[in-house]
Structure 1
Amino acid sequence: MSKVQNVQNNFEIDFFPKDWNIARLSDVADKKDRYSFTGGPFGSDLKSEHYTDTGVRIIQLQNIGDGEFLNNYAIYTSEKKADDLISCNIFPNEIIMAKMDPVARACLVPNLNNRYLMCSDGIRLNVDKERYNNHFILYFINSRYFRNKADLKGIGTTRKRIGLSTLRELTIVVPAKLEEQDKIAEILTTINNNIQKTSALIEKYKNIKTGMMADLFTRGVTHDGKLRPPYEQAPELYHETELGFIPKGWFIKSIGSLLITQPQYGANESAEDYNSHNPRYLRITDITDDGYLMNEEIKSLSWNKTNGYILEEDDIVIARTGNTVGKSYIYKKDDCPMAFAGYLIKFKFNKDVCNPLYIFYYLHSYLFYNWIDKTLKVGAKPNINAQEYSSFHIYLPELSEQLEIINIISSIDKKIETEQKYLEKLKQLKQGLMQDLLTGKVRVKQAEPSVA
């Protein structure tokens, strides 16, 4: 194993195999291509007035994911404009990198069009495929070794950026033999494909759940557990209210009328480093849009600061400010001790008239999201206060039907949770393999993946 001097190369890999080489990123570009390593156009050369409904697609920063192309935003320019900016064209299966934070994140350009035009903050890298494996280079660029180094070289306080000239000089380590690069890339791509398939399956289940809740919270279920026919097919099963037709036997209740205590704002305390002897400090940034906990950056709060702020089983907290308004979480009996922070509001429900889990699911339906859009106060920070949340009205069946609805939604939730756990397992496996394979710590003969 050879040693890389950290000071000289500003690199985190201390040792790598003797038959591997150090290369500048510019060295891996195809020298036969004049524009194999180049940046996007100047802002003045590509303005909004140049956008068209069809033509050559412009790859924007929001399309450049961490190892994947995010195909959720598309703008175009004319063929002529793309020809005028020929040096900024990029093609399928080439690497595009981002200058803006997170700096140097990269993905492959998809094979959806014959060519694309980069935005001003994009960087094209056309790899010399006679010497380097395209996917190996992409994986290395997205590794923590390279990305940490790029981040250190980035400039700016509010949002970092990195220049083309700086990226050119950053170094990677790479097997001298193309066959070894190919094998490493093949292993990581196998894991990556499984990650993408699992992510797609999770999205499918989430879409099913969304459609299911839209029906369940407006139609409910019959005594045999089947979805009640819609009003148009069976009007005799519904009665008219101030909010429209709802199933007979259902009521319209405000959140406030279902509480056993007044809503409570969270602790106005600074988060502390995680300590297993103290309660977890639940913040709005810890809650996903789907109501799950994120465990990447767990914080704590000392016991002596938690008086009155410790959550109990079935308490629901809802975010009240910022871009997270409306996100909610229900505290479960198996959760660790948890105190809630100031941008959250706690609601404690009367279990004699409503099941808190029914309320929690309702808070993730389009009925609640539509209400938020109408109610939201737009100012320095969008916000909805406790009084406003208390005024939100829900369609409420009897407890027995609430439980039927909960069971149906929970069944799809369990599938989502199972796939999410598997997805996390795959991501951890990928990270471990990247750390071992991209440094030569484990040679490819020892590194066949197991993803079962």
Structure 2
Amino acid sequence: MLGPDTVAELSADLPAAPADFRDTELNPLPVDWQLVRLGEVLAHRKEFITVRDEDEYKRCRVQVRAQGIVLRDFVRGADLTIKQQQIVRAGDFLVAEIDAKVGGFGIVPPTLDGAVVSSHYFRFEIDRKRLFEDFLGFAAMTPSFQKQVSPRGSTNYASVRPKHVMGYLIPLPPLSEQRAIARVLRTVQRAREAAERVVAATRQLKQAMLRHLFTYGPVPVDQADRVPLKETEIGPVPEHWEVLPLGNVLRQTQYGLSVRGQRSGQFPMLRMNNLTAGRLDTTDLQFVDLDPATFARYRLNRGDLLFNRTNSLELVGKTAMFDEDDPFTFASYLVRVVVDPNSVVPAYLSFYMNDQRTQARLKLLASRGVSQSNINATKLRGLVVPVPPLAEQSEIVRVLDTIDNKFATAERRCQSLLLLFQSLLHNLMTGQVRVHGLTELESIGGA
């Protein structure tokens, strides 16, 4: 049960309720909605079995951040150390004893009916005459619910117990409205999941195309077997390509500024966190003040490559091409790489440097410390790279840019649907928006 301090904290700074709303311990709610504790609509159930060594069991687990219940694995009874296991049923509200504080709870889907979990999970049966299970699943995603699971200050506790769960508060609209709210949110959620699958498929397509293009060149996949190849120290490449140390096709490598960045200043300074997935991310910048001569030495030019020479082993070697017109400088953990335009197209080299196989080779060059790894400019210049004719490099860039544009479009759709879901979750779960007139959202998955 929530104490008065926790309820007071959750209620702090709530806006005054409009005329058709009433103030509650969580937030203003429509006058025709109830505010209930879960103990009024849930019952704690225990259904244990003794596993048999010769049988196979389906285990499930909760995902954190309220991402639901998923299959964990199939396991033989003989491989289970703890022989007493709980059975869960479709539609149950399942709560992880420890992970609940990080969103480890959700509704058991029909596909996991009869799965087993350990005694460190709590199973709650829902009173379906008052509460629709999918509505509870979405209510559990709201900040007001999660604040109750992870209260701050002196009321904090190490794990969640059934008595805590029974004391959590949720809004309770009429059952028909619960179903309608859940239907709208499920529609947007499924559209987002479909968009995420497109993002994942596009990411896989890019990796497959990187492997194809850097092995066979810019030829159709069904013509790859017609390309004469030669074996090199970096693997097979077309016979007419050169394979050279990177330093042979560069005009310059230069370490960045050893100057502490500030929140404001004359010039933005790119740091290692600004290199993301082969692209520049300028949403988190620091700034420096420089005299004209120093700025001239460290000003980035369009087409420069930035190489992350010092970072964790996982992130060292990140590379991105600078494609801004505004005046930028760069910090000391980055190396500016200036290509010879007569030998290399900058974007081609950027794509090659970010290929998974190249990244794996770079990790082998890194000097490893306790928490940081380093690849100095000398080692970088010694990295062997494939050098096709410039026209083929440009065609490779065109193909990969097309895939990147599709990827960016899919990511934007994912982000838009996430923002829509979050907005609807808040507004529908507080009654600020009622479900009447929102049924057109059911077609959003095909938009």
TM-score by length of 2: 0.77
What displacement does 1:219 show?
Answer: 0.8
What's 2:180 paired with?
Answer: 183
Aligned 8 A contact 2:61 2:69 in 1: no
CA contact (8 A) 1:64 1:70 kept: no
Change (3 A) 1:244 1:105: closer
What one-letter code is carried by the residue in structure 2 that aligns with 1:313? R
Partner of 2:23: none
Q: Quick one: percent identity of the two aligned structures?
A: 20
CA contact (8 A) 1:263 1:346 kept: yes
**2:102 alignment partner, SS class:** coil
Q: Highest CA radius of gyration, 1 or 2?
A: 2
Residue in 1 aligned with 2:146? 147
Query: Deviation of residue 18 (structure 1)?
Result: 1.8
Asked if the contact 1:100–1:161 (Cα under 8 Å) also holds between the matched residues in 2, the reply is no
Code of the residue aligned with 1:184 in structure 2: it is I
Could you tell me which residue of structure 2 aligns to residue 328 of structure 1? 319
What's the counterpart of residue 129 of structure 1? 128
* SS of equivalent to 1:409: helix
| CA displacement at 1:102 relative to structure 2 | 6.7
**Does structure 2 conserve the Cα–Cα contact (< 8 Å) formed by 1:280 and 1:299?**
no
Question: Could you tell me which residue of structure 2 aligns to residue 41 of structure 1?
Answer: none
Partner of 1:104: 103
Aligned with residue 90 of structure 1, among 76, 88, 101: 88
Q: What is the CA–CA distance in structure 2 between the aligned matches of 1:262 and 1:331, rounded to whole Å?
A: 14
The residue that corresponds to 1:46 in the other structure is: none
**Structure 1 residue 262, shift from structure 2 partner:** 1.9
Post-superposition offset of 1:424? 1.2
1:44 matched residue in structure 2: none
In structure 2, the residue matched to 1:163 is 160
TM-superposed deviation, 1:346:
3.6
Deviations 1:416-443 (A, max 9, x none): 1111111111111111111111111112
Q: Does 2:282 correspond to 1:269?
A: no
Query: Is 1:352 the equivalent of 2:342?
Result: yes
2:278 counterpart of 1:291: yes
RMSD of equivalent CA atoms:
4.1
- Alignment match, 1:250: 241
* Alignment partner, residue 10 of structure 2: 10
Rounded to whole Å, the distance in 2 between the matches of 1:18 and 1:416 is 45
* Contact 1:53/1:75 (<8 A) preserved: no
Deviation at 1:104, TM superposition (A): 2.2
Contact 1:219 1:247 in 2 (8 A): yes
What runs of 5+ residues in structure 2 fail to find an aligned partner? 15-25
Partner AA of 1:17 in structure 2: P
Give the corresponding residue for 2:56. Answer: 55
Decide whether aligned partners of structure 1 residues 175 and 337 sit closer, same or farther in structure 2, where only a CA change above 3 A counts: farther
Q: Could you give the per-residue CA deviations for residues 61-85 of structure 1, whole angstroms, max 9, x where no partner exists?
A: 6x445425566x7474527959843
Structure 2 CA distance, aligned partners of 1:70 and 1:294?
33
Q: Does 1:172 align with 2:172?
A: no
Aligned mate of 2:394, from 403, 406, 419: 403
Specify the alignment match of 2:34 in structure 1: 21
Distance in structure 2 (CA, Å) of the matches to 1:404 and 1:168: 59
- The answer to whether the Cα contact below 8 Å between 1:56 and 1:115 also exists between their aligned partners in 2 is no
- Alpha-carbon distance in structure 2 between the residues aligned to 1:9 and 1:169: 19
Partners of 2:261 and 2:148 lie apart in 1 by: 30
- Note the residue ranges of structure 1 that are not aligned, 5 or more in a row: 39-49
| C-alpha distance in structure 2 between counterparts of 1:156 and 1:376, whole Å | 47
Offset, 1:317: 2.8
Q: Tell me what 2:289 maps to.
A: 304
CA distance in 2, matches of 1:317, 1:170: 54
Please give the TM-score of this superposition, normalised by the length of structure 1: 0.76
Q: State the AA in 2 paired with 1:259.
A: L
Go from structure 1 to structure 2 and tell me whether the alpha carbon gap of 1:27 and 1:70 turns closer, same or farther (over 3 Å shift).
Answer: same
Q: Residue 192 of structure 1 corresponds to which residue in structure 2?
A: 189
Answer with 386-395 or 96-105: which moved more.
Answer: 96-105
Counterparts in 2 of 1:310 and 1:447: CA distance versus 1, 3 Å: farther
* CA–CA distance in structure 1, aligned partners of residues 46 and 128 of structure 2: 15
Change in Cα spacing, 1:211 to 1:269, as seen in structure 2 (3 Å) is: same
